[in-house]
Each structure stands twice: as C-alpha cells, then as structure tokens.
Amino acid sequence: MPPRLTLYGVVNVLVVCTANICRSPTAARGLRVGLAEAGLAPESVEVESAGVAAADDLPMCEVADTLSAARLGSGGSHRSRPVTAEIAESADLILAADRGHRTAVGRLAPSTRARVFTLRQAARLAEWVTTDSGVLEFAAGRAAGAEPDLPEDDPRIQVPPLPEDREQRLVWLISEMDAARGMAPLDVDTGEPSDWHPEDIVDPHATDWQLHEAAVESCLNSTAAIVQAFRRVNSMP
C-alpha cells in the first residue's frame, strides 16, 4: 500500500492513554524534545495527545511532570482533552499507552487501524524496520535504482522505494511498521513483572502510585527509540 499523504506537509503524531494526564503527555513531551533535537519538529512533525476517558482541561499529573522534566531537562504546559474520531483520523501515527487504548481508538475511528500502535510496539517495529531487517537499506537502494536479487518469497520485494521528501519518508516508515506487525520479534523478557504485557505501559493511577517512575521510563525509552528510527530514515542518502 502506498504511503498516506500527510496533511499540510507535516506528519501528525497523536499519543493516547486513559485520562491524558500521565502517560500520554509524558510520551508526547519525550517526542517533542527528541524530535526537536533531531531537527524534525515542529517543521516536519507535530505531536499531540488525548485520552479515551479524559476530562477537559486538567493539568498533567505532578509526579509524571516532575519525573519527565528531570529526565528531559525541560517541562511544559499541558491540558487534558478526550480523543475524538476527528482527532484520531487527522493523525498519521497514533501511539497508545496500552493495547486497550489501541483497541479503543480502532473502534472509534476504524480507518486508523493501520496507523495505531502501542508505544512499545511502535518502538520495536520502528527499530526493526530501520536496523536488523534490512528494509530501510533495501528501500534506499530501490530509490537509487538498484534492485537486489531476492528470493520470490522475501517480503522485502513488496517494500516501496524510500521517498525523497522528508515528511513522506516518515509516512513511509509508519507504513512499513504496519507491514512488519507479526514479523519483528517480540521481546517477552522485559525485566518487569510477569503480569505486564511487553507491549503495554503500566498505569500507575490504576495500579500502584509507586509505579510512576517505571511508567515514565517506559514512555521515554519508547519515544527515544521512535525518534532514533525517524533519524535513521531522515539521514539516508
């Protein structure tokens, strides 16, 4: 499937959790800082957040705000809002805190299903597409006119050339992340409690307040991996 055209030449990323006061604003902050350092935001990428059960206009959780600001070296203002079908449909990439949010967004806006991932899932797929799989190198070679000799059953045969335009390169990556579902290996040994699914980020407000540090770390580690994948795609010749 060809990459989706972005709105106004800017890739729009939406981060979603439950109340839009803890995990999603933390991840959104991590993305904004990382993308700005990479020279990709806000000119090429805009980041927003929302919640599947959010009230309007609430501030960010103080604990997550403090922890994320300490790691990133900067804070920022935030006001919560509920996710709507219109908000979801305008996004090129939707990052959900856990699988429940991913399902909720897919039901709210079915047309977005190919663009919705959990944060951890997106980090894993983006890293796989841009490193070990050889997909990025193959796409760059195809864009340069090369056609590597691959077996007929090699799925990389279906990979489209890497676009020249920076924004469309990022949309290309999102499309390839969707294509990689079920192909990129899932690391089940995350070092976290066994009742946590490896593609979910725990909700400290619904489980244990002391898990804020773990949740913030998971959010920011995931966003850092996504930003790094964006860097790799953008830096290809």
Q: Where are the domains of the chain?
A: 11-235
Q: What pLDDT shows up at residue 89?
A: 97
Give me the pLDDT at residue 123, please. Answer: 97
Three-state DSSP at 62 gives helix
Cβ within 8 Å of residue 13, ≥6 positions away: 31, 45, 46, 47, 48, 91, 92, 93, 94, 95
Residue 1, pLDDT score:
43
What is the pLDDT at residue 192? Answer: 57
CA dist., res. 31 & res. 41, Å (int): 9
Q: Which residues of the chain carry a pLDDT beneath 50? A: 1-3, 7
CATH topology of domain 11-235: Rossmann fold (3.40.50)
What span, in angstroms and rounded, lies between the C-alpha atoms of 63 and 197? 23
What is residue 215's predicted lDDT score, i.e. its pLDDT?
Answer: 95
Give 55's contacts (C-beta < 8 A, 6+ positions apart).
19, 80, 82
pLDDT tens digits along 97-140:
999 999 999 999 999 999 999 999 999 999 999 998 989 999 99
Cis-peptide into 42, omega within 30 deg: yes
Question: Tokens 């806006």 sit at which residue?
Answer: 109
Report pLDDT for 166. Answer: 87
Token pair recorded at residue 42 = 């806000």
CB 118 within 8 A of CB 93: no
Cα dihedral sign for 8, 85, 101, 65? positive
Give the pLDDT of residue 197: 86
